[in-house]
Amino acid sequence: MPVFISSEEEFIDVARKAEECRVKRIPKKNIAKVKARTKRYLYTYKIQIQNLDALLEKLKSVCKNIVEV
């Protein structure tokens, strides 16, 4: 069962420990789901597509492997 995170700062802290980060864009709803897989849990964070690029810039320095789905 995935764990939902509502804060961007908290998600970035979790992404530091993640093995992989995935991004899934949902254009119909104008949101994107960003997922971070750690050894124990899958963490998800929902964000507006307009704000996604700024978050991805922060994640590139934190997460080793970012995959767009």
Question: What's the Cα-to-Cα distance from 56 to each of 1, 5, 22, 24, 40, rounded to whole Å?
Answer: 24, 16, 10, 12, 23
pTM: 0.91
Residue 31, burial from CB neighbour count under 10 angstroms (0-12, 13-18, 19+): middle
Beta bridge partners of 34: 23, 45
Per-residue pLDDT of 9-38, as tens digits, reads: 999 999 999 999 999 999 999 999 999 999
Domains of the chain: 3-68 (3.30.720.90)
- In eight-state DSSP terms, residue 2 is P
**Cβ of 29: how many Cβ atoms within 10 Å?**
11
Per-residue pLDDT of 35-53, as tens digits, reads: 999 999 999 999 999 999 9
